[in-house]
Amino acid sequence: MKNSLRSVVSKFMNMVVAMLVCIVATTSFFSCSKDEENDAPNPPYYDESMADSRTVLVYMVAENSLASYTASDINEMLYGMRYSHLKPGDNLVVYVDDTDKPRIYNITPKDTILNAFTLKPEYTYSEDKNSADANHLGEVIDYVKRKHPAESYGLVLWSHGSGWIPDNNNIAIKSKHRAFGLDNNNNTTYNSGNQMNISDMARCIESRIKFEYIFFDACFMQCIELDYELRNATKYVVASPAEIPGPGADYRSTMSALFKADSSAYAIVDAYYKTYVNDADYGVIISSVEVAKLDNFLAYMKNVVRKHPDSFLPATLKNIQNYFDYSIYSSQKMPDFLDIKGIAASALSETEYAEWNYEYSKIIDNCKFTQYWYSRYPNMRLSVDAEQCGGVSMFLPIPHRYWYLGMSLDVYEAIMNTDWGRELWSIE
């Protein structure tokens, strides 16, 4: 009898201990996770509910003159998510830094709210952030991976831009001189402040994730130097080599392309182009590049330049499609953005150019352009040369220091600091 009683008491005590351990563990969990959005738990193990799912991050750096566009673009995204017949597991995560505190929205296909002003943020930062800092972009990417895991990921980078050109600390000209993004750090619409170097962006992203695509809804971002820098961060880069229209992408029609299971980059180009193909005020040049293939293309380009070193000097190349002509718009402090196809057509013989065009076609996923595009400088529509438009720009280095008068940036040194420039032009 004593042994039986002792057994019952022992079992009871064991149950009490187990209950106490459970209570302590539960209390500890809640005390550590309360409202700590940036310390969200690790993503769940992959299961069938994540099959074919995609999370798209739209990273809006709008603490600048573009602040007024954020609400209308979010409204377009809400509409697109509602009416694009997306998969239940698809998520649109929108990071916004404008004249208010930075915040993150999560929009799913089930959302019925179609007003950006009544949409509630999933998370709001307690203080302003430098959204043009690559490290902060990395933190947002980490947040998205923890909170909204998916089988694949897409990235939309929304802001001002100027291609491969690095950040510049000269306050007098930085409003016309930036890489990606512009954060003025004072919650105004003034165009001055921090920019994100593309090399910093690339290292930040590739250490965390490889996106299905990176889509730049920003000016001048489809350049071979930027594409090569991002070759380990994504499969495709979608962007324009020129200025984009002020309204940018129409996310009502682009949304389904952002979530397309395959050929997503190709579809984004088509959707962007269709928005402006019949626009009387604007036009667009837009392309997608399969950046994973750029190592082979660079090796081919090195052989071409070695064979024709004098043919790629700026002084010998005439009448090439130029998306920003420094000789005309030099007061804006930006170097030329020559179309890579126009350069090759001017530098090579007809037979050599045909071979070059074949090699180039291997990296171009899609390219669309209208007859004209609108340029803020010189505030007019400019013609697109259909024979020279390859949808990607390339910079030609100029060894002497006096070509780009008025720029505090040493452009020759800057291009040689890019992976593409260093590999292609440092040829003995």
373 three-class SS: strand
Give the lowest-confidence range in 324-333, 364-373, 403-412. 403-412
pLDDT at position 316, please? Answer: 67
220: left (phi over 0), alpha (psi -120 to 50) or beta: left
pTM of the model: 0.86
Task: Report the C-alpha gap between 168 and 73 in whole angstroms.
Answer: 29
Q: What is the mean pLDDT of the chain?
A: 85
Max Cα–Cα distance, the chain, nearest Å: 107
Q: Is residue 4's pLDDT more than 50? A: no
pLDDT at position 311, please? Answer: 86
Contact indicator for 373, 382 with CB cutoff of 8 Å: yes
For residues 159 and 397, the model is more confident at 159
Query: What tokens were used for 275?
Result: 């928005």
Q: Is residue 168's pLDDT more than 70? A: no
Burial of 419 from C-beta contacts in 10 A (0-12 / 13-18 / 19+): middle
Phi and psi at residue 376, in whole multiples of 5°? -60, -30
Report the amino acid identity of residue 329: Y
- Orientation of helix 350-361 relative to helix 294-307, angle to 10°: 170
pLDDT at position 405, please? Answer: 72
Query: Of 101, 13, 88, which is closest to residue 52 (Cα–Cα)?
Result: 88
pLDDT at position 281, please? Answer: 92
DSSP assignment letter at 161: B
Beta-carbon contacts of 354 under 8 Å, excluding residues fewer than 6 positions away, are: none
DSSP letters spanning 221-289: --BHHHHHHTTTTEEEEEE-SSPPPTT---HHHHHHHHT-SSSHHHHHHHHHHHHHTT-SS---EEEEE
H or E stretch covering 294: helix 294-307
DSSP assignment letter at 393: E
pLDDT confidence bin for 400, thresholds 50/70/90? low
H or E stretch covering 363: none
pLDDT at position 245, please? Answer: 93
Q: Is residue 428's pLDDT more than 80? A: no
The total of other beta-carbon atoms located within 10 Å of residue 294's CB is 22
Percent of the chain with pLDDT over 70: 82
For the ranges 18-32, 247-261, 312-326, the one whose mean pLDDT is highest: 247-261
From residue 86, give the alpha-carbon distance in Å to each of 93, 218, 236, 327. 15, 25, 21, 47
Report the amino acid identity of residue 225: E
Task: Report the C-alpha gap between 366 and 285 in whole angstroms.
Answer: 11
Give the lowest-confidence range in 93-97, 419-423, 424-428. 424-428
Give the lowest-confidence range in 116-130, 169-183, 249-263, 365-379. 169-183
Using alpha carbons only, give the angle 191, 197, 198 rounded to the nearest 5 degrees.
Answer: 120
pLDDT confidence bin for 247, thresholds 50/70/90? very high
178: left (phi over 0), alpha (psi -120 to 50) or beta: beta
Phi and psi at residue 239, in whole multiples of 5°? -170, 180
**What size, in residues, is the chain?**
428
pLDDT at position 402, please? Answer: 67
43-89 pLDDT per residue, tens: 444 455 667 899 999 999 999 999 999 999 999 999 999 888 888 88
Q: Are strands 234-239 and 211-217 parallel, antiparallel or unpaired?
A: parallel
Give the domains, in start order, of the chain with CATH numbers: 50-292 (3.40.50), 296-358+390-425 (no CATH)
pLDDT confidence bin for 279, thresholds 50/70/90? very high
Report the amino acid identity of residue 86: L
375: left (phi over 0), alpha (psi -120 to 50) or beta: beta
Q: Are strands 372-375 and 338-339 parallel, antiparallel or unpaired?
A: unpaired
Q: Is residue 119's pLDDT more than 60? A: yes
